[in-house]
Structure 1
Amino acid sequence: MTAPDQLVSVRYIVDDVQAAVDFYTTHLGFTVRANVAPAFADVVLGSLRLLLSGPASSGARATPEGTPAGRNRIHLTFKDLDAEIDRLRGDGLSFLGDVVAGPGGRQILLADPSGNLVELFEPAER
């Protein structure tokens, strides 16, 4: 079990470690803890540690060939989703679909350079 003051880690398999590092640091505010591209990098945002594993990393090699990526994604919360969308579009990024609204809030999906999903979310006012 992870203590509240520790990082929670998620591994994303990426095609190009440096492109992934550039995406997460430039557009989403992550900072680099370690970068041993082309094999692996470790970036952090708050208590989220994102492990970016390239084809040469042990994490990528442990994934059986043909394993589907699924619809899992990291979830980042913003106070003003529309402003964040405008900022990222201004950076030349495009989104997968349109904003979707539900009882919990509004969200839109973004893909990193390897196709891993990032959900940008604005909670509903309570």
Structure 2
Amino acid sequence: MTETFVSIRYIVDDVPASIEFYTTLLGFSLQQDARPAFASVTRGGLRLLLSGKTSSGARAMPDGRQPVPGGWNRILLIVSDIAAEVERLRKAGLSFRNDILKGVGGSQILLDDPSGNPIELFEPAPAH
């Protein structure tokens, strides 16, 4: 089986709002639209599956646990100018979990999607 994308599933509260968020603000393209249950969006080699409450991906586990949005596992999107990207997204009314953190590998910040799923924006450090 040949895959052209790395696929990640996010459980979301509102599929249409998630489509709008990812396509309008983060440069994803809509791949599949099965509102209100499900959609998939792509960016580069990433396919993000947006599973609403009525999707198969959001069904309860045998022990009764229910998949919910949020947590700390996240997708990482590389940006070329993190400060400019943060400013653009703040002007669009979005909020972040933290401020920009700088480390030896680069700079990062965590943004929440409309359901509270984290997205890490990462600007790699310049190569020496």
Deviations 1:58-83 (A, max 9, x none): 00115552567531000000111011
Equivalenced residues, count: 124
Taking every aligned residue pair, what percent have the same amino acid on both sides? 58
Relative to the length of structure 2, the TM-score reads 0.90
Backbone CA RMSD of aligned residues: 1.7
Deviations 1:8-47 (A, max 9, x none): 1000000110011011011000010111111000100011
Matched, 1:120 2:121: yes
What is aligned with 2:65?
A: 65
Of 23, 30, 55 in structure 1, the residue corresponding to residue 53 of structure 2 is 55
1:89 Cα deviation (Å)? 1.1
Gaps of 5+ in 1: none
Gaps of 5+ in 2: none
Q: Which amino acid aligns with 1:59?
A: G
- Do the aligned residues in 1 keep the contact of 2:107 with 2:124 (CA within 8 Å)? yes
Of 21, 31, 34 in structure 2, the residue corresponding to residue 33 of structure 1 is 31
Moved over 3 A (4+): 66-70
